[in-house]
Amino acid sequence: MRYLPHTNTDIQQMLATIGIADKEALFSGIPADCRLSRPIDLPPGLAEVDILAQLQQLAAKNAQVSDWSSFLGGGAYNHFIPAVIDHLVSRSEFYTAYTPYQPEISQGTLQGIFEFQTMICQLTGMDMANASMYDGASACAEAVLLAVRAAKKRNRVLICKTLHPHYRQTIATYCRYLDVELIAVETDNGTTPLEQVEQLLDERVAALVVGYPNYFGCIEPLSELAARVHTVDARLITAVAEPLALALYKSPGELGADIVVGDGQSFGLPLSYGGPGIGFFAVREKDMRLLPGRLVGETRDLDGNRSFVLTLATREQHIRREKATSNICSNQGMCALMVSIYLALHGKQGLRKLADINYARANWLREQISTLDGFALPFSTPVFNEFVVTCREPVADLKKRLEQQQILAGVAIGRDYPGLESGLLVCVTEQNSRKQMEQLLTALAGEK
Amino acid sequence: MRYLPHTNTDIQQMLATIGIADKEALFSGIPADCRLSRPIDLPPGLAEVDILAQLQQLAAKNAQVSDWSSFLGGGAYNHFIPAVIDHLVSRSEFYTAYTPYQPEISQGTLQGIFEFQTMICQLTGMDMANASMYDGASACAEAVLLAVRAAKKRNRVLICKTLHPHYRQTIATYCRYLDVELIAVETDNGTTPLEQVEQLLDERVAALVVGYPNYFGCIEPLSELAARVHTVDARLITAVAEPLALALYKSPGELGADIVVGDGQSFGLPLSYGGPGIGFFAVREKDMRLLPGRLVGETRDLDGNRSFVLTLATREQHIRREKATSNICSNQGMCALMVSIYLALHGKQGLRKLADINYARANWLREQISTLDGFALPFSTPVFNEFVVTCREPVADLKKRLEQQQILAGVAIGRDYPGLESGLLVCVTEQNSRKQMEQLLTALAGEK
Amino acid sequence: MIPTDSRGLVLDEPLLFEQSQPGRIGYSLPDTEVPQSAPPADLLRDDITDFPELSEVDVIRHYTRLSTWNYGVDSGFYPLGSCTMKYNPKVNEVAARLPGFAEIHPQTPEALNQGALELMYRLEQALTEVSGFPAISLQPAAGAQGELTGMLMIRAWHEARGSKRTKVIIPDTAHGTNPATASLCGYEVMPVSSTGILGRDAVAAVMSDEVAALMITNPNTLGLFEADIRAICDLVHEQGGLVYCDGANLNALMGISRPGDLGIDVMHFNLHKTFSTPHGGGGPGAGPVGVAEKLIPFLPLPVIIKEGDDYHFDYERPQSIGRVKSFYGHFGILVRAYSYILAMGGNGLKKATELAVLNANYIRARLEGAYALPFKERSLHEVVFSEENLGGGCRTLDVAKRLIDYGFHPPTIYFPLVVAGALMIEPTETESKQTLDDFCDAMLAIAAEAEQDPDKLKQAPTRARRRRLDEVTAARKPRLRWLP
Amino acid sequence: MIPTDSRGLVLDEPLLFEQSQPGRIGYSLPDTEVPQSAPPADLLRDDITDFPELSEVDVIRHYTRLSTWNYGVDSGFYPLGSCTMKYNPKVNEVAARLPGFAEIHPQTPEALNQGALELMYRLEQALTEVSGFPAISLQPAAGAQGELTGMLMIRAWHEARGSKRTKVIIPDTAHGTNPATASLCGYEVMPVSSTGILGRDAVAAVMSDEVAALMITNPNTLGLFEADIRAICDLVHEQGGLVYCDGANLNALMGISRPGDLGIDVMHFNLHKTFSTPHGGGGPGAGPVGVAEKLIPFLPLPVIIKEGDDYHFDYERPQSIGRVKSFYGHFGILVRAYSYILAMGGNGLKKATELAVLNANYIRARLEGAYALPFKERSLHEVVFSEENLGGGCRTLDVAKRLIDYGFHPPTIYFPLVVAGALMIEPTETESKQTLDDFCDAMLAIAAEAEQDPDKLKQAPTRARRRRLDEVTAARKPRLRWLP
Ligand SMILES: Cc1ncc(COP(=O)(O)O)c(C=O)c1O
Ligand SMILES: Cc1ncc(COP(=O)(O)O)c(C=O)c1O
């Protein structure tokens, strides 16, 4: 076996050094009634060529977005990934390393994360960000926990229904057995109505959680929400599933958010059927010691050279154990690196330009669809690169019909939003050419 | 433009430092009548995504061997390439470096080539090998030049007709305007008849060039040829287009060859429509100072540490100019590295086992085809993984017919071998499963 | 041989922001293709302040140089205990990048991604076979999330039965994620101290009808098999509790013992340990959970099911604890793990375990004496020494840093907490005897240096990119981002 | 900023053979699937003596470590004159690896590989547009083989006209491949000395009816445009000769001047210089030739032609010089070059040239004075200094080695031969002003060190993997392979 370097001679010599007769004796500490008495019932190992052939067969049964016209978004975005990213993250010093516990030989990872933390701050307009969370949904759930912990006696959290359903569900799971009361905030014209928020806000509320853009692709009135939330000293948690929007729209930080979480998949991570994504988590200075997860800080070494190191570890499980701010240990280090490379490559200009393209195309398509017979726009609020249309044709039928033409028309939102059964969430990125959009329009119009 | 880092400010500052007003002035040394007075008439630069789309369209028009059943060989061999190779050669310290002129910061390339030279010696059974040539054909032509130069007054070289036609043609081109007389040696039973060789050998002959395996896949009687060639003190040049054969068959060195050249493409290089391949060139000690191309040798640095360095440069064009042993400058460094990784990974056992698989499959198929009506084996000499069959059906028709079934049946040899118009050269590697071979047999038998 | 003269050019590299030049670009974007448009001006953002502006070559050099300051498994021996730093096969990386895996969208109708679902289904089956648990969820993102998922299921199971237990027993050898997870589930942690191996009696002493579960690690973080495991499970079960197993150390057990057969109710796997997926400088991992029959209704959403030849996600599971993250699992990591299982086969996995244990015991045999061994039971995949025997006033940290000068990644240190100055060495099976010998030679040399020339240790590392860092200032005056 | 404190862990690594262990394996092979068989015993070889036996992880670590001892363009500035070490775009690497390019067999019928032929045809057209030559052959493997191909065509042209000329004029600034190539074509070399720029008169003085051709490099290896080129071409043509142009320096001319318009008869391109394909630690390159009308019949075999919408290889070319290698061209390199042209577009190529020339002149402006500039004409893409002004008895070699300590790859040294201790600096267009400033700062610091502390130069490098090597012993007692 090519991954196992032991020759028979090696094994014999090693057993002799250990002072046992055979490999069996290595397991003498395991009681007989704990032993598996048969071989593992899995097929014998395959040659590399056969592994790839088998996997290729499975891969061929999937609908690659490069072979389809895909207008799917809803928490995972089909953006182009420059070749540079894979080239750089394939450097094994990065991806075969562990969490940088030994800073003297981990400065590459550490400086990379420090830069990631910085760019997340810049994008979100916040003071500090951690080294990553699993994904946007779990980051959002941890943000709720932070807010509740920070607010001490308060245990209510308002969750806007416009927040991505997976985020809402994950929050619910994380809070399941904790003393947290989750209260849903209804929806109006695709965003969160300020009046209802005002009604719900009181001294029991620790935080309000809102998407930006929200699940409908709409831009929520963040600064208005912030103003109201802050009147009761609660925290505004903003969740960003499509962070490219932050290159075009005002940052949550600028608008008054207290915590900004989200998923960085848009920035250079393959769709990969939804995982791994990468959660980000940014806060104001005041919440620094409540942050979950790893943090990299700047310091100096004995020679006075600038260096980076994992810091404020007293927040973390390996030091604080049951009192830790979170149980997270492994995070999404490699994904953070990919995001950083993506952001560095696009830079200030490129990210804005890319956001402009996404905006222009999506809004063009939105307009065009709205002129088609049988389609309407339920919401008038500004959007970024995603929007909801309602269709006269049943959404399931429409989707099926378009699949015949190799088009993935969008995400049906009816299951998550009773009352919006006719709604289709359509996403447009720079990967959807005008030609693709025109084909979509023809196909949509083609209803018999 | 993302490959061009200059900002406008940079450019202005640089022009000021230079002391000129604009970029135009940079070209003041070029007379007006030498200037191009119009823009380059090529389309504007494309975005990365569009480059890949355009290239993918071209790529889609080609017959990938992974989508076809390919029994093509004839100088390029479809062997499996382990993932490790691409991973390692993608390390940019290797592939973005130049020829290792500065050994202090090129020990990676240098040790890699030293190991390559060593493994080529081990495989071929020779004393020393150079750092690579362009390909087998040009290496073979340079071997002829070496032999003529070494032999001083002799200018005749015998070329076996069984040698790969491209090798023969390349030799002819290289010798076109030199005082070298090339004499063809005929063929018998797929190999070179010793009697004819005996007749042609005399004091005018500098060398005989023979393939091993030859173009028909047959194993030439190397030691018998060597014995005869050496009676007149000429050199036996052995050319190996499928070096995997050397893991199974006796090495040319062991059998008496004086020069062994060939192409290493089989060892981990993609087919890539025939290039880049990699020429190798191995000689006996006596010819060391006549070797063309780069050579890496072992030495020590000032601290006494073992080090590697380009050596014996006085043979080369940059020192010896018109008296150099060759004009070669760039060689196939990255390919040499790929070959080395491939050989190191397969190792002594793996290479033999792989050769066994190739041999067993090819010889099984050869037997099976020979039992089909309408097919015959023109030669009885042992083969490695390639063999000639003759077909009753016109070869061109047969090939076309099988292409309908997504089968590339083999290489027609009639154009290069008048008299063998019915010959098809069939190659079998570990990439041709038994199932593929059975399909080929069914298809062959299916002639109406 | 010990690489004592290693040295070479390692280049400096400032922060991205420090290199940025206004107007420099590294992107390459297609045309807009439709009329330009923009959101209302009051929503529009200005420039992203201080965001970097670089060319492609700047970015390439930046990360290329950064990488050279790092040490990975591909650089050399990385015996980081509890982390199972085995070789990450390169074919797995190719597999995960196949366009039919990397370019598929999670919102695609299931019927159009049957290959992905089938792969995950097959992976679940393989994990079932290796672990003995009848059902698996691939959903959790990493080990700690697997723990959370598992403990939430335990709590849901209790609640479904109307049982309101409040406590979880956790041995003092446990990883920090165990108590942190118990807290996240609203449980109070009851530490129990073990003397190497957790005795049934120790558990009995604290077990009660207030205890919802025991969280145990097997083999534990000392590298020892919990020999009383069956009896302990019986005991906990008898008293109405459940048993969670931290499966981080499964690399010691493949083909040897199946946690699911021993009475464990739920266990997480770390695919990034046992199943060779890369650690990525911190992640992403994958932390599937395996459960006993009784916990199947509580599995997180969704669950893959096979109906006829078709694969689906099942969301209609009323007792489920719900969703713990978006979509389903770290698919890209799952592909790698499945590719590994295909390469190894059943026998290969067992052989991996045997050799991992052989390697750990070989190191133990070579170093015992020079280094103090607090627990004498037969080691499995890792061995834990203490700093007790060190001369010259040297501590575990000094040994670790000195190992860097010898070209090795240090072991895990100061964990588990029950060992004074623990040096937790897990070689894994992909290391050869030669590598182990080089490492042991270095360890022995360091032990001798501690006696004779302790400054060598205390000043170490001197050959790395950086010398020891001022971690105190880092924590006291945190600088967590660059500012101009 | 100058990276003066760079340091870090760089690991040792023995030779493959020294690590080999009998019986260790790194391969993974499919089953034989048919009955085993073997050739006659007397033909069978024994083991390959001393061939390495390693595991996959051994191989990975070996080459990973080796790579860290190297310096590439991605590591830093690499101003190796005449080599055009520009950035190698990563998308080109992806392009060349597309299965529809990498996995196609050269013996496939042309009708089945139309995409590959079309790509090459389009590349030829692009090279035609950039260079002004009406026809291109992509066949030659590298620049030197392009030279051979071109000079053979020149000779074939002469012979076809019954002309038996025997000499070739080559200026003393020429690259070694020029005279070596002329010899390979059976020509006698007539060196002609130039004072920077080759004067028409200097050529006239040696031109005769014995001269088959002039080989000229434009811009020449001093980085200067051969301003008399038109007159020289006219002169040579008038006297029945042809003009070969070494096109290695085309990076100075794109969009500015087309060699094919100036009277040149044949020129080779170095795609691995001007068109950004990687140098690969020595190769592979690609050395297409462009020819004037009169040489088209002599192009090497085969030639790509387009008939209707179909692309073919034409082999029926009776006047062709024949084949110079197997198959057709370094296709994998051609794909990269074409991908580069697509990325740059016509304007981008011109801009590349302008910035390459700007960069060279900027370095010249900053260093002139501190370093002696033997030729004062306006530089194009590179600038050549001499060692004349160096203090402290330092030589060009010392400057080069000291640059390593500053973290830069040295320039080309001691070439061209006409300059005493030449320092030939070619920055290329992909380097930023910041990088050039860092480099110039280092060069100026070194010039100062030469005066004040020459040992710094003479002992350099001290920070690289190795100090200076004993090259004399290497050549006197060559050890060209490992032996046990
Ligand atoms: C024993 C043990 N349990 C749990 C974990 C947590 O796993 P993860 O990092 O995948 O969340 C670890 C990881 O270090 C561990 O070693
Ligand atoms: C001026 C000049 N001519 C010719 C060559 C030879 O080119 P190649 O190395 O591609 O054979 C070179 C390469 O260094 C060169 O600089």
Q: What are phi and psi of B224, to 5 degrees?
A: -65, -40
Place of tokens 């010089």: D321
Q: Which residues of A touch B96 (CB under 8 A)?
A: none
Q: Characterize A85-124 residue by residue with b for buried, 16 or more Cβ atoms within 10 angstroms of its Cβ, and e for exposed.
A: bbbbbbbbbbbbbbbbbbbbbbbbbbbbbbbbbbbbbbbb
Q: How far is CA A218 from CA A123, A239, A240, D242, in A?
A: 19, 13, 12, 70
Pairing of strands D242-246, D266-268: parallel
Helix (H), strand (E) at residue B164: none
Taking each helix axis as running N to C, give the angle between helix D433-452 and helix D396-405, from 0 to 180 degrees, rounded to the nearest 10: 120
For the CA of B330, the nearest atom of ligand 2: 9
For ligand 2, say whether the CB of D287 is within 6 Å of any of its atoms: yes
Q: What are phi and psi of A51, to 5 degrees?
A: -60, -50
> Tokens in use for D280?
């690969």
Q: How far is CA C233 from CA A36, C268, C483, in A?
A: 18, 17, 54
Q: Characterize B124-139 residue by residue with b for buried, 16 or more Cβ atoms within 10 angstroms of its Cβ, and e for exposed.
A: bbbbbbbbbbbbbbbb
Query: Which amino acid, one-letter code, is at C311?
Result: Y
For ligand 1, say whether the CB of C246 is within 6 Å of any of its atoms: yes
What is the C-alpha separation between C122 and B439, in angstroms, rounded? 30
Query: Which amino acid, one-letter code, is at C157?
Result: W
Neighboring chains of C (3 or more beta-carbon pairs < 8 A): A, B, D
3-class secondary structure, D80 = strand
Taking each helix axis as running N to C, give the angle between helix A165-175 and helix A136-150, from 0 to 180 degrees, rounded to the nearest 10: 50
Mean pLDDT, each 10-residue run in order, chain D (484 residues):
64 96 95 97 96 98 97 98 98 98 98 98 98 98 98 98 97 96 97 92 97 98 97 98 98 98 98 98 98 98 98 98 98 98 98 98 98 96 97 97 97 95 98 98 98 97 95 96 97
Which ligand ends up closest to the CA of D175? 2
pLDDT at C8 over 90: no
- What digits encode the pLDDT tens for the residues A166-200? 999 999 999 999 999 999 999 999 999 999 999 99
C-alpha D154: how far from its chain's center? 22
Phi-psi region of C162 (alpha: psi -120 to 50; beta: other; left: phi over 0): left
For ligand 1, say whether the CB of A330 is within 6 Å of any of its atoms: yes
The ipTM of this complex is: 0.97
> Tokens in use for B14?
């640089």
- What digits encode the pLDDT tens for the residues A213-246? 999 999 999 999 999 999 999 999 999 999 999 9
HEC-encoded secondary structure of C304-327: EEEECCEEEEECCCCCCCCCCCCC
- Mutation site for A-interface testing, chosen from D7, D9, D10, D55 by largest number of A Cβ within 10 Å: D55
Helices (H), B135-274: 136-150, 165-175, 194-200, 222-231, 252-255
Q: Which residues of A touch C115 (CB under 8 A)?
A: 57-62
pLDDT of residue C1: 43
A264 confidence band (pLDDT: 50, 70, 90): very high
By the CB < 8 Å criterion, does B60 face chain C? no
pLDDT at C210 over 90: yes
How many other C-beta atoms can be found within 10 angstroms of the C-beta atom of residue C405?
Answer: 22
Place of tokens 């991908």: D339
What is the C-alpha separation between C78 and C409, in angstroms, rounded? 5
- How many angstroms does the Cα of residue D144 sit away from the middle of ligand 2? 6
pLDDT of residue C54: 97
With beta carbons less than 8 A apart as the criterion, state whether D92 and D276 touch: yes
What is the C-alpha separation between D450 and D387, in angstroms, rounded? 11
With beta carbons less than 8 A apart as the criterion, state whether C340 and C89 touch: yes
> Tokens in use for D170?
């080559």
What is the C-alpha separation between B88 and A126, in angstroms, rounded? 40
3-class secondary structure, B13 = helix
pLDDT at A145 over 80: yes
- For chain B, what is the largest distance between any 2 Cα atoms, rounded to a whole number of angstroms? 83
Q: How far is CA B173 from CA A320, C72, C335, in A?
A: 77, 51, 52
What is the C-alpha separation between C389 and C62, in angstroms, rounded? 43
Q: Do D143 and B320 touch (CB under 8 A)?
A: no
Q: Do B23 and D354 touch (CB under 8 A)?
A: yes
Residue among C403, C446, C326 at smallest CA distance from C71: C403
3-class secondary structure, A309 = strand
Show Cβ contacts of residue D15 under 8 Å, excluding neighbours closer than 6 positions. B111, B114, B115, B118, D482
3-state helix, strand, coil in chain A (%, to 5): 45, 15, 40
pLDDT at C96 over 80: yes
Residue among D86, D76, D89 at smallest CA distance from D356: D86
How many other C-beta atoms can be found within 10 angstroms of the C-beta atom of residue D15?
Answer: 17
pLDDT at A1 over 90: no
State which of C172, C175, C268 you would mutate to test the pocket of ligand 1, scoring each by most atoms of that ligand within 8 A of its C-beta. Answer: C175
Q: Which residue in A5, A47, A303 is closest to D58 by CB distance?
A: A5
With beta carbons less than 8 A apart as the criterion, state whether D260 and D233 touch: no
Residue among A227, A283, A262 at smallest CA distance from A141: A262
Q: What are phi and psi of D408, to 5 degrees?
A: -115, 150
Pairing of strands C412-413, C423-425: antiparallel
By the CB < 8 Å criterion, does A348 face chain B? no
Q: Characterize C232-259 residue by residue with b for buried, 16 or more Cβ atoms within 10 angstroms of its Cβ, and e for exposed.
A: bbebbeeebbbbbbbbbbbbbbbbbbbb
Residue A401 CB-density burial (10 A; 0-12 exposed, 13-18 middle, 19+ buried): middle
| Tens digit of each residue's pLDDT, chain B (448 residues) | 899 999 999 999 999 999 999 999 999 999 999 999 999 999 999 999 999 999 999 999 999 999 999 999 999 999 999 999 999 999 999 999 999 999 999 999 999 999 999 999 999 999 999 999 999 999 999 999 999 999 989 999 999 999 999 999 999 999 999 999 999 999 999 999 999 999 999 999 999 999 999 999 999 999 999 999 999 999 999 999 999 999 999 999 999 999 999 999 999 999 999 999 999 999 999 999 999 999 999 999 999 999 999 999 988 888 888 989 999 999 999 999 999 999 999 999 999 999 999 999 999 999 999 999 999 999 999 999 999 999 999 999 999 999 999 999 999 999 999 999 999 999 999 999 999 999 999 999 986 4
- For chain C, what is the largest distance between any 2 Cα atoms, rounded to a whole number of angstroms? 77
> Tokens in use for C292?
């006993």
Residue among A266, A226, A272, A274 at smallest CA distance from A246: A266
Pairing of strands A375-376, A386-391: antiparallel
With beta carbons less than 8 A apart as the criterion, state whether A88 and C60 touch: yes
Q: Do B2 and C55 touch (CB under 8 A)?
A: yes
- Beta-carbon-side half-sphere exposure of residue C440 (alpha carbons within 13 Å): 24
Show Cβ contacts of residue D99 under 8 Å, excluding neighbours closer than 6 positions. B59, B64, B66
CA angle D292-D294-D300, nearest 5°? 80
Size of interface A-D (CB pairs under 8 A): 50
High-pLDDT (> 90) share of chain C, %: 97
Q: Which residues of A touch D343 (CB under 8 A)?
A: none
In chain B, the residue whose alpha carbon lies closest to the alpha carbon of A345 is B2
Show Cβ contacts of residue D304 under 8 Å, excluding neighbours closer than 6 positions. D117, D120, D121, D124, D138, D311, D312, D313, D314, D328
By the CB < 8 Å criterion, does A36 face chain D? no
Measured over the CA atoms of residue A318, residue A323, residue A325 and residue A327, the dihedral's sign is positive
